[in-house]
Structure 1
């Protein structure tokens, strides 16, 4: 796990030493949304997002809509609102908002899942009813837990920067809980590389996603009312998830495209240690046809 993080960190930080003129380096590979015009798209197909929580179902994906609007300074992008502070050929700095992603595992209709449709049963069964642990060399039962308390959605706000290099875009962001749900902080380091080959367009991304102790504790720690044993024996710590993402488009016509999306996230050991989880990863895929209005 540590070696994977070091490798991703090396790959992400390397582009910062490769400054270049974005126009000459990127050409048609980077397509920007036209200022003052709504960008609306809808993809229909099939996909799934795996849920690492014990006894929670995976999340089906049938529709993937896109709503974005960029003005001279203000912008709206799939529910996120931002304001551009500085814009240059080599970098951009924005004030921005974003959704909490951890709450999406607990609620089917969480805002982070608002672009996902389809029926799904998200009610957990007895997460701890059959849990057993070994203490002092002897196997002992852990008391049955009450129902889980609600893990609420929250909105994050902070600052982000985009650094443009000849071998990709480096994105750094820092955001804090705006709704006073967990009072935690998240930071992200992301490297993106775009490539066009005739009608094919590809985007590869490597991501390091840091979550403060407050975030991990709120979503993945066990509360005394849920299970007295685990509330004492699992102590939350700050954590770093690592991800790789690939998105590809094949242009069929002026408004029509084929869309393929795949993401894999290796969940940090500090989170995997929670008794709420039974997987150390989450993966997402989607294949469909997209129409851009």
Structure 2
């Protein structure tokens, strides 16, 4: 089933009509070039945390910052340079914060500047430590209660976020490509490498997003997205593996494995006036077994939901 989510966008690429990225007035995929955009969303929401002992992240105030020039762009925690730009597709070099550490530290920038890929309708796109997971770790089967809820956080049979060594932040760099279909659909492929040497691995994403035409003039926008994330073994092992540095218990030792995590998301905006919009967004990601088999994980998915008002400056 997980490969279905990975291959579906490619199928849509083959069967969709000819792509079109020309900026007609009615085209919802187009943005104004050469202008800084600032906005803030006020409301209520949450990012669920799959790491045992980690807190869910409340979403109350979400700032958005973006700029798109002829080639250079900024989109919250992402920087990019577009070096190929055609009517049907574009290709950019990008650099962005890796969001994995957000589960291990409450005030990571990605918990404030939440990725526009699932909370906005943007058209884009400490002390360092050595790798705490040498190859000395071994896979181990989890006990039945190793994936329990909050009641077993105090049990000596489980390991939590408070028991492990620090997971450091990382900066990823790579290539982002978009293909445009008419004025409603977009296929995106992203491939990134850890340029800071934190986990020394790769990750990527493929997704297909499309706007649903609504009979509410231009006041309302509804967008769906379906896709999959790839995280290689080095990334998973660094953040979710358990080594002898984390615990003296051999039964908890775990080597991470490469994963493909499918996801779906929805975003709805309704414009009230020139400054304010009503905003709703939600995303669900299903975690592959290479992550969920870790004794550090007690959920098989992560969720993000937000509802509130968006003010544009």
Among 174, 180, 197, the residue aligned to 1:180:
197
Partner of 1:33: 31
Among 150, 153, 158, the residue aligned to 2:169:
153
TM-score by length of 1: 0.85
Partner of 1:6: 3
Q: How far 1:101 moved relative to its partner?
A: 1.4
CA distance in 2, matches of 1:128, 1:230: 19
Does residue 70 of structure 2 align to residue 86 of structure 1? no
* Cα contact 1:222–1:230 (8 A) shared by 2: no
Q: Mark the CA change 1:68 to 1:62 in structure 2 (over 3 Å): closer, same or farther.
A: same
Q: Mark the CA change 1:144 to 1:88 in structure 2 (over 3 Å): closer, same or farther.
A: closer
CA distance in 2, matches of 1:266, 1:235: 20
Q: Mark the CA change 1:23 to 1:177 in structure 2 (over 3 Å): closer, same or farther.
A: closer
CA distance in 2, matches of 1:8, 1:143: 32
Q: Mark the CA change 1:146 to 1:97 in structure 2 (over 3 Å): closer, same or farther.
A: closer
CA distance in 2, matches of 1:70, 1:186: 25
Among 41, 47, 58, the residue aligned to 1:60:
58
CA distance in 2, matches of 1:233, 1:152: 20
CA RMSD between the two structures: 2.6
Higher strand share: 1
* Cα contact 1:146–1:225 (8 A) shared by 2: no
Q: How far 1:26 moved relative to its partner?
A: 8.4
Among 241, 250, 261, the residue aligned to 2:281:
261
* Cα contact 1:15–1:169 (8 A) shared by 2: no
3-state SS of 2:26 partner: helix
Partner of 2:290: 270
Q: Deviations over 1:53-81 (max 9, x none)?
A: 11111100001111001111111110211
Does residue 285 of structure 2 align to residue 284 of structure 1? no
Instruction: Show structure 1 runs of 5+ residues with no match.
Output: 117-124, 133-141
3-state SS of 1:226 partner: coil
Does residue 232 of structure 2 align to residue 235 of structure 1? no
3-state SS of 1:173 partner: strand
* Cα contact 1:43–1:63 (8 A) shared by 2: yes
Instruction: Show structure 2 runs of 5+ residues with no match.
Output: 115-149
